[in-house]
Structure 1
């Protein structure tokens, strides 16, 4: 394909070839991709036929033939007679503008928000795992739809969720050390990723896009002092706006070691206070569903009867498990007669000392050998998960397991978790201790 580029360049330099108006400054004749090529020229007969002749010569030399049925020619401002002659000679079909290439609309006018919205939503949702997926300049509406889909999936496992979230999205988008789930704020992350484009222009990165921007927008003016005109495309104005947003980061020396999207994102979101319970909640010894439950409890976000009553719902506020006191988180874990009995049965089975009140404080300040602390914390989180599960079962089915049976389920959870651990990371003392508890 490099040979094709050289042939087109040669034809452009030796004959009366005229470049496309937006390609003239950089003398662009073609852009190549993995399995296709885009060629550009002015809409006159000589230039169009030179493109076709060069490609024909390339095909004869290389043996690579164009699939005319899969190729289109796009015209703008070309008379019908010339258009008909070109299609007849080339065998191409006439394509209609706008068309989509690599999922993006190609058209003669500048891109608007509505041109990007639907395609970008689907593409980004399918590519959220990719670092480069968010190098797009995303409209705010697209970002909101992405966040709504992620938020709904978190709480309901699908794209639809019609109830109030248990935890605010801003909190969810904080790192785990700050009480969140480690998800990224998509609006700030998009600014940080678009900042990569800003940095490429500022550092004059060796890329065709940067060269094109300098030739058609900046025109030898200073990027730092440049202001987009009102008739510029929405995408270009957005890039210039991001430049202003992150300008303070440069002036304050935040990016003195070179621009990185991660560093810019951290600067944009600002520092938050770390929570003291994150190690106890997110420890790898805890089952994932127990970690999530512990995280909700740490945020006091469970919809207990007391909380539902505070929302104005028609509930009496009493505990479903014991019916003896108002159902609050503090009551459930573990002041409730049922949950206290579960803890007592669990201590009887394991022989471990576990808390009966102020659970998170106990987990944070739990003492002993490392493995012992982790096992105790894992059992406490498992107990909270199963107590809440029994509470929900009592509310819906009017049925609840005996405390002794619930304690056995918690103990079984712990055994399965320990069997999954790499025993090579445990010393002899820790293995002996787990053996005495019948966890091995």
Structure 2
């Protein structure tokens, strides 16, 4: 889809919505489960991982980026039969910047010229767009990633995401930790905002109202679990909030393997806290702090063994 049809024509909005719906259901589950996700597809999911997203391309912006290659081909006088026909019958030997999109007789070129005008607006002016195409015409290659950023928008890098980008972190742990950091999990307070739940009570401590901030790590149960995870790593400080824990890991200057263990352990702790919450809400079962701690240790040791030698694992087991 993204390699062929997006490069041939501007996809109808209905087709794009259908594709994005299928992608959301693949990522989150059924349509009813998708409604429980408080995470914007275009504004969050389609951002780079270093920007707090999942690095999935936004289809419309990518579609426009690929179609601009036709404009560059015309601009560089590419030896193509279609380009030669376009010069003769569509542009009538006009400059590719002079023809108005609304007066163009070709439907495909009309859409490409509208994309040209949008590109010029996004870079500031038509003169700036002309300067960019002039610099690209030397190689005849459109820098797809740069143009995609222009259409999709520029977003700052988030420092707290850095610990979750480490290859040591289990992917499903990283996903849940990212959603938690964005306060996008389907906690009771988020569900109450949509009128889906009437009673707001934390299922872990049964004392305070449930929210992402409470679960990570104001709740006595989750705070006790993370405290034991920190003690296992040889850390003696107290437990901080989720964002502060991530920031502290991003600024950590310890040895390489200790940083990896800390990143993997924090993501696993967030994942198992959320899993325990769902176990109590939906299954009626529960596991204690000791059992969850053993599961976290096991996951960390397995990941460290797969990404390093057995010396690190033996050190972890001796802690």
| TM-score (ref. length: structure 1) | 0.63
Higher mean displacement: 132-141 or 348-357: 348-357
Q: CA deviation at 1:223?
A: 2.3
Q: CA deviation at 1:160?
A: 8.1
Q: 1:262 and 1:363, CA in 2 relative to 1: closer, same or farther beyond 3 A?
A: closer
From 19, 33, 42, the counterpart of 1:146 = 19
Distance 1:165 1:330 in 2: 17
Higher mean displacement: 182-191 or 249-258: 249-258
Match status 1:287 vs 2:170: yes
Q: CA deviation at 1:352?
A: 4.4
Tell me, yes or no, if the aligned pair for 1:318 and 1:326 is still in contact at 8 Å: yes
Q: 1:175 and 1:372, CA in 2 relative to 1: closer, same or farther beyond 3 A?
A: same
SS in 1 for 2:97: coil
- Structure 1 runs (4+) greater than 6 angstroms displaced: none
Higher mean displacement: 212-221 or 188-197: 212-221
Tell me, yes or no, if the aligned pair for 2:37 and 2:186 is still in contact at 8 Å: no
Tell me, yes or no, if the aligned pair for 2:6 and 2:63 is still in contact at 8 Å: yes
Q: State the match for 2:40 in structure 1.
A: 168
Q: State the match for 1:134 in structure 2.
A: 6
Match status 1:210 vs 2:96: no
Aligned residue pairs, count: 304
Distance 2:7 2:195 in 1: 45
Match status 1:402 vs 2:301: no
Structure 1 residues 220-369: aligned runs within 5 Å:
220-227=93-100, 232-248=105-121, 249=123, 251-252=127-128, 253-258=131-136, 259-347=142-230, 349-353=232-236, 356-366=239-249, 367=252, 368-369=254-255
Q: CA deviation at 1:195?
A: 0.6
Q: CA deviation at 1:292?
A: 0.3
Q: State the match for 1:436 in structure 2.
A: 315
Tell me, yes or no, if the aligned pair for 1:290 and 1:382 is still in contact at 8 Å: yes
- Stretches of structure 2 that go unaligned for 5 or more consecutive residues are 137-141
SS in 1 for 2:239: coil
Q: CA deviation at 1:238?
A: 0.9
Aligned CA-pair RMSD: 2.6
Q: 1:247 and 1:329, CA in 2 relative to 1: closer, same or farther beyond 3 A?
A: closer
Q: CA deviation at 1:308?
A: 2.1
- Stretches of structure 1 that go unaligned for 5 or more consecutive residues are 1-123, 424-430
Q: CA deviation at 1:335?
A: 2.6
Q: 1:203 and 1:271, CA in 2 relative to 1: closer, same or farther beyond 3 A?
A: same
Higher relative contact order (CA 8 A, sep 6+): 2
SS in 1 for 2:275: helix
SS in 2 for 1:435: helix
More helix by share: 2
From 365, 378, 381, the counterpart of 2:267 = 381
Distance 1:355 1:290 in 2: 23
Tell me, yes or no, if the aligned pair for 2:216 and 2:222 is still in contact at 8 Å: yes
Distance 2:119 2:177 in 1: 37
Higher mean displacement: 380-389 or 248-257: 248-257
Distance 1:222 1:439 in 2: 73
SS in 2 for 1:438: helix
